[in-house]
């Protein structure tokens, strides 16, 4: 299924049913009183967050969300049936905006959280409601009210504890596959990761955290270059970042790789560079002695906790995971 993280849809709630004009017609009662029932209310359009959805692709195809209309009232004081609500599941982490005003309507940041984006119209009252001591035979009833119609914009921000960032081919997808059951596409060319990938890292049988692999960043990503600019929003909710660099890259030193990605993180409106980070010196198995010495020296100058690792062989990965888990615990306690 295609990954879609932003979509605009039209929500149209159901119309309320009309009230009924009716009078009792019974044998031996020639002039029965009014008995017209009320119309049913229109159905609402509701969005609810669920872990069963991971993309807004279905809404990208659907575009119009229409709830059921209420039935009309009937004689013998029979009220019309209410229209069925339309309940639409969206991924946890979906932000709901009014498309016209831009106002945030809801942040569906946990499973089961829901929001009514269009309310159904009220059903009209039947003529039985209008009977009084001076008007015992009212011959009018109300029309049902139209339901609300609203255009909304949905924006998905993945709910992950940790974000993996780095240049293309830094090894983020390989690391995600190593530490979780996620199976992202892995190949030796830039932009292998075209969409964010999520993986669950088990620290113990009862403890785990969620990692998001964000497509590689390049210079100018925050201005729309490359792929990463579309997905930077998915690390806004993360508590910390693991910054991967290629310690064996003969063309780019560690400090150069760091600066390029840090510039994009800092330029993002949410200032992602302010998040706690750890540095993973990846491809340690492929680096020669000189590259290792230089990488460690440059990493030490950053002030970040640095971990030489190999996502391919698994070398140093356990130490990285333990450090990330410890930092997550500290961040949760401080929140």
Q: What is the pLDDT of residue 185?
A: 56
Q: Which domains does the chain have, with CATH numbers?
A: 6-156 (2.70.210.12), 162-334 (3.40.50.300)
- Three-state SS string over the chain comes to CCCCCEEEEEEECCCCCCCCCCECCECCECCCCECCCCCCCCCCEEEEEECCCCCCHHHHHHCEEECCCCCCCECCCECCCCCCCEEEEEECCEEEEECCCCCEEEEECCCCCEEEEECCCCCCCCHHHHCCCCCCCCCCCCCCCCCCEEEEEEEECCCCCEEEECCCCCCHHHHHHHHCCCCCCCCCCCCCCCCCEEEEEEEECCEEEEEEECCCCCCCHHHCCCCHHHHHHHHCCCCEEEEEEECCCCCCCHHHHHHHHHHHHHHCCCCHHHCCEEEEEECHHHCCHHHHHHHHHHHHHHCCCEEECCCCCCCCHHHHHHHHHHHHHHHHHHC
C-alpha dihedral, 3 to 169 to 230 to 256, nearest 10°: 170
Q: Which whole number is the average pLDDT over 130-147? A: 93
Q: What is the pLDDT of residue 269?
A: 78
Which strands, in side-by-side order, build the sheet including 114-118?
Answer: 86-91, 45-50, 114-118
Distance CA 104, CA 94 (A): 11
Please write the tens of the pLDDT for every residue from 43-72: 999 999 998 888 898 898 888 999 999 999
Asked whether the predicted pLDDT for residue 316 surpasses 60, the reply is yes
Summary mean pLDDT of the chain: 88
Q: Within a 10 A sphere around the Cβ of 22, how many other Cβ atoms?
A: 21
In this predicted structure, which of 18-32, 60-74, 78-92 has the lowest mean pLDDT? 18-32
Distance CA 71, CA 329 (A): 54
Percentage of residues of the chain with pLDDT beyond 90? 59
What is the bridge-based pairing of β-strands 94-98 and 240-246? unpaired
Percentage of residues of the chain with pLDDT beyond 70? 89
8 A C-beta contact, residue 83 and residue 40: yes
Asked whether the predicted pLDDT for residue 191 surpasses 70, the reply is no
What is the bridge-based pairing of β-strands 240-246 and 162-165? parallel
In this predicted structure, which of 110-114, 185-189, 328-332 has the lowest mean pLDDT? 185-189
Q: Which whole number is the average pLDDT over 96-114? A: 96
Asked whether the predicted pLDDT for residue 228 surpasses 80, the reply is no
Distance CA 118, CA 228 (A): 34
pLDDT band at residue 224 under the 50/70/90 scheme: very low
In this predicted structure, which of 99-103, 191-195, 265-269 has the lowest mean pLDDT? 191-195
Q: What is the pLDDT of residue 225?
A: 45
Asked whether the predicted pLDDT for residue 162 surpasses 80, the reply is yes
Rounded to the nearest angstrom, the gap between the alpha carbon of residue 246 and the centroid of all alpha carbons in its chain is: 31
Asked whether the predicted pLDDT for residue 1 surpasses 80, the reply is no
Q: What is the pLDDT of residue 102?
A: 96
Q: Which whole number is the average pLDDT over 236-246? A: 92
Q: What is the pLDDT of residue 195?
A: 67
Q: Which whole number is the average pLDDT over 171-194? A: 70
pTM above 0.75, yes or no: yes
Asked whether the predicted pLDDT for residue 319 surpasses 70, the reply is yes
- Compare 217 and 114 and report the one with higher pLDDT: 114
- Compare 19 and 219 and report the one with higher pLDDT: 19
Please write the tens of the pLDDT for every residue from 247-300: 999 888 899 999 988 888 888 877 888 899 999 999 999 999 999 999 999 999
8 A C-beta contact, residue 34 and residue 128: yes
8 A C-beta contact, residue 63 and residue 56: no
Q: What is the pLDDT of residue 2?
A: 64
Q: What is the pLDDT of residue 226?
A: 45
Cβ-in-10-Å burial (0-12, 13-18, 19+) of 157 comes to: buried
């Amino acid at each position: 299924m295609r990954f879609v993280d932003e979509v605009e849809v039209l929500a149209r709630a159901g119309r309320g049913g009309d009230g009924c004009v009716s009078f009792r017609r019974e044998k031996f009662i020639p002039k029965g009183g009014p008995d017209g029932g009320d119309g049913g209310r229109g159905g609402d359009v509701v969005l609810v967050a669920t872990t069963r959805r991971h993309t807004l692709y279905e809404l990208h195809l659907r575009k119009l969300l229409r709830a059921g209309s209420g039935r009309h009232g009937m004689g013998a004081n029979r009220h019309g049936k209410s229209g069925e609500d339309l309940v639409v599941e969206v991924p946890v982490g979906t932000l709901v905006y009014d498309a016209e005003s831009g106002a945030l309507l809801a942040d569906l940041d946990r499973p089961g959280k829901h929001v009514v984006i269009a309310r159904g119209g009220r059903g009209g009252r039947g003529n039985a409601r209008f009977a009084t001591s001076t008007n015992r035979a009212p011959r009018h009833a109300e029309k049902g009210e139209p339901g609300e119609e609203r255009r909304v914009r949905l924006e998905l921000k993945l709910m992950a504890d940790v974000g993996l960032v780095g240049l293309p081919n830094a090894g983020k997808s390989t690391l995600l596959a190593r530490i979780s059951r996620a199976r992202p596409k892995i190949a030796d060319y830039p932009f292998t990761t075209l969409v964010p990938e999520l993986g669950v890292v088990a620290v113990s049988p009862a403890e785990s955290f969620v990692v998001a692999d964000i497509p590689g960043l390049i210079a100018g990503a925050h201005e729309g270059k490359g792929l990463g600019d579309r997905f930077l929003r998915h690390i806004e909710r993360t508590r910390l970042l693991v910054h991967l660099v290629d310690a064996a890259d003969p063309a780019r030193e560690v400090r150069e790789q760091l600066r390029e990605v840090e510039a994009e993180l800092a330029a993002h409106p949410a200032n992602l560079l302010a998040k706690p980070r750890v540095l993973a010196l990846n491809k340690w198995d492929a680096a020669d002695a000189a590259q290792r010495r230089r990488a460690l020296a440059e990493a030490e100058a950053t002030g970040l906790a640095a971990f030489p690792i190999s996502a391919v062989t698994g070398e140093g990965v356990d130490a990285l995971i333990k450090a990330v888990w410890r930092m997550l615990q500290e961040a949760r306690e401080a929140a």
